[in-house]
Structure 1
Amino acid sequence: MALAEEVIDVQDRYIDLKSEPSTRIARSPTPRIADAALVFIQQQRTLHGHEPPIDDRRLLKKIDFRIVPIMFACYTMQFIDKVNINYAAVMGLNQDLRLQGNEFSWCATAFFIAFLVAEIPTGLFLQKIPAAKYLGFSVIMWGVTTACTAACHNFAGLLVVRIFLGAFEAAIAPCLILITSMWYTKSEQVPRMSLWYSGLGIGQIFGGLVSYGMEPSASCEYHK
């Protein structure tokens, strides 16, 4: 009974996020459970004797300008890094690394196996680590891993690189979804998710164009 009353009390303190953006401010927050933004608003309320005026439309545009391009870029680059092995195969990767039989297919498959397995610890880590910091760490690590592809000389090296790449890229979708839900209301989330998810298509276009531009020089080098 006491637990139920406590839950009701907590629910009464906060306004449902499904409501309009202007109602995001808590009614009676406590420092123990308030986030940094809420503490700031509470300080301003104490200083001025009332809630500071907020232009919701301007605030939303500012958040969009700061966050959505970064999420879009992350999703675009993760797709390109994921499929660049296919572009490399067209330019002679199999011959350079002396891949035989199904070895190239195993390298491609290893990425998705590692991606799937890594989703479980990623979910656990995001319960303890801020999503933005974990995403930043993952982006840096998968960039380093992608660069290490150039150092591969055989099937084993390429396989290891693809496994680590899949493990690091597993954080991209959970982090972006979590960040979107943190900054936007329910009605605002879908358009923003559509924007950064469109990086998948842009990555296909951009990656294909880059591959097409590099293919002639790679072919000349391969046929020497």
Structure 2
Amino acid sequence: MSLESSSAAHKDEKHAGVSLSTREVDTGAQLVAGLTSTLDPDEALRVRRKIDRHIMPLMCVLYWIQFMDKTTLGSAAILGIQEATHLTTNQYNWLGTVFYLSYLLFEYPQNLALQRFPVGKWMSINIFVWAVALASHAACKNFAGLLVVRLLLGVCEGSITAGFLIVSSMFYTRTEQTLRVGYWFLMNGTGTLTEM
């Protein structure tokens, strides 16, 4: 008996009592495997509700926090950031400008990266770096430190809108996307309200 035939016999022996019905397989796995070509409307509704419960709140909260982050420099001025970090008016204005300059400069490379790398992993890396840069604001004592963290925020946020559009298109049909994109984009308005 050859090594390959003994290995195959061992596998057959190992899995002899195991059976799997298609009902035990995830709906998405069934579609990908080609076990089913159509999706039952009730099952489609169940899957959409599950996605709405898990992915949509996460996207809404992240978009809301990231929009609030864009406007917090104004609130920080009221709370005394200029005096605490010894900023001139010109330096303070540059902190607002450098964010949008880095956002514009890195939006194109970020979109290329979203196409070349797994979207979930690339978005996770950007959100993690964004969170670290945001938390690092508390440690900044001068203009140079604030300039670096504001630059990093712009770099990381350059991937958010395009990445969320890709994620929305991955999980929702064309007719469902319009409403769902509207939900997470609506967080811009609520982010503005919470700043007041």
CA positional deviation for 1:43: 4.7
Relative to the length of structure 1, the TM-score reads: 0.70
1:190-210 deviations in whole A, cap 9, x for unaligned? 1000000111112122233xx
- How many matched pairs? 169
Partner of 2:30: 40
Distance 1:62 1:97, change over 3 A: same
Pick aligned residue for 1:59 from 44, 47, 51: 47
Taking the aligned partners of 1:124 and 1:207, their CA distance within structure 2 comes to 33
- The answer to whether structure 1 residue 91 and structure 2 residue 79 are counterparts is yes
Which gives a bigger RCO, structure 1 or 2 (Cα 8 Å, sep 6+)? 2
Q: Distance in 2 between matches of 1:51 and 1:101?
A: 63
Aligned to 2:138: 150
Given that residues 44 and 52 in structure 1 are in contact (C-alpha distance below 8 angstroms), is that contact kept between their aligned partners in structure 2? Answer: no
Residue in 2 that maps onto 1:163? 151
1:99–1:155 Cα contact (<8 Å) kept: yes
SS in 2 for 1:140: helix
RMSD: 2.1
Residue 105 of structure 2 aligns with which residue? 117
Q: Deviations over 1:29-60 (max 9, x none)?
A: xxxxxxx9765336573xxxx66863222221
Distance 1:159 1:42 in 2: 47
Name the amino acid aligned to 1:197: F
Look up the match of 2:124. 136
Contact 1:180/1:189, CA 8 A, preserved across alignment = yes
Q: Which residue of 2 aligns with 1:80?
A: 68
Letter in 2 for 1:86: G
Query: Identity, % of aligned pairs?
Result: 34
Structure-2 change in CA distance of 1:37 and 1:166 (3 Å): farther
Q: Which amino acid aligns with 2:76?
A: A
Kindly tell me: are residues 60 and 106 of structure 1, through their superposed partners in 2, closer, same or farther at Cα, counting changes over 3 Å? same
Structure 1: segments with no counterpart, 5+ residues: 1-35, 209-224
Shift of 1:145: 0.1
- 1:185 correspondence with 2:173: yes
CA deviations 1:59-91 (Å, max 9, x no partner) are: 211111121111101100101222212111101
